[in-house]
Amino acid sequence: MGFEVIEVEYIVETKNLTKKFGKDTAVEGLNMHIRRGEIYGFLGPNGAGKTTTIRMLLGLMKPTSGSVHIFGKDLNRDKLNILRKVGSLVENPSYYPHLTAYENLEAMRKIVGCEKARIHEVLEIVGLTNATNKKVKGFSLGMRQRLGIAMALLNRPELLILDEPTNGLDPSGIIEVRNLIKSLPHEYGMTVLISSHLLSEIEQVATTVGIVTKGKMIYQDSIEALRRHSQHHISFRVSHGERAWRSLMAAGIKTQFEGDVVTLNDHTDDDTVAAAVRALVREQISVYRIEEDKRSLEEIFLQMTTKERAV
């Protein structure tokens, strides 16, 4: 029972986590790192292996190889102690339709062992107080989703794992849940893992993102680092691509070229653009077009995930 609180670098750490179903590899060599207090956005297209990964984090599935450490403890050895401090909502919310919202939470409370008042607390948090004594059978999809979140919060988890938590919610519900998730780290000291196939969803809450596609982690960094990728590109369509590239290089401006298009990546401030134009004119290279190409995070995400798919 003794579960000493030790400061660990990562709340969740997986090493080469792999899961195979027969010949299919659902998750391959996944290394996930989640720090305390983070809201970790776990992104990927449908079928990328997000849910399989989450199931392995919760000990619902055994990895084919690799390891999972949560709170610095091996999930294989300390499963029950770890799960005591984890709350989860995996895929569609699960509930007992013939029981009321209160009874559903009570069935769970008996196992996790918190006080009864906590049931009303979590119902209040997700805005289901009015439906306390209604059978879940008659709940709308959004209400079921809220109940699922209430269940995940019941044991005051240190790590909250939410798989697609805004599924089925209406716009105002989405905003409510988003605000709730945002408040969890500083109000309750929780660390949150939230998965989604929509970047826009993650972008607004996450502090760190992990992008997974075809079972592999292809990107893992802070949301700011991802945003930097979305900064502008300035492309020049010129008469001689390679010459332009060389002369710009000589002028100390880093670019890439492809055919007759030269692209300016890192520094796209006005001065650099002006200097580049000057250099091109000096070299007597005709500049046909200067275009600004603003990529949204969504495009980056799409590009990252489809690039991998093409391999």
| Residues near another protein (CB under 8 A) | 55, 58-62, 80-81, 83-84, 86, 88, 90-99, 103, 106-108, 110-113, 151
Which one, 98 or 289, has the nearer CB to another protein? 98
Q: Which strands form 261-264's sheet, in the order they lie side by side? A: 255-258, 261-264, 233-238, 287-293
Nearest distance in Å: CB 252, another protein: 56
Distance CA 209, CA 34 (A): 10
Please give the structure tokens belonging to residue 49. 């292996």
Distance CA 147, CA 56 (A): 23
Which one, 106 or 299, has the nearer CB to another protein? 106
Nearest distance in Å: CB 175, another protein: 26
Which one, 105 or 211, has the nearer CB to another protein? 105
Which one, 137 or 227, has the nearer CB to another protein? 137
Which one, 83 or 199, has the nearer CB to another protein? 83
Distance CA 196, CA 45 (A): 8
Nearest distance in Å: CB 60, another protein: 4
Distance CA 163, CA 222 (A): 20
CB 255 within 8 A of CB 245: yes
Nearest distance in Å: CB 71, another protein: 13
- The percent of the chain in helix, strand and coil, each rounded to the nearest 5, is 40, 30, 30
Nearest distance in Å: CB 223, another protein: 27
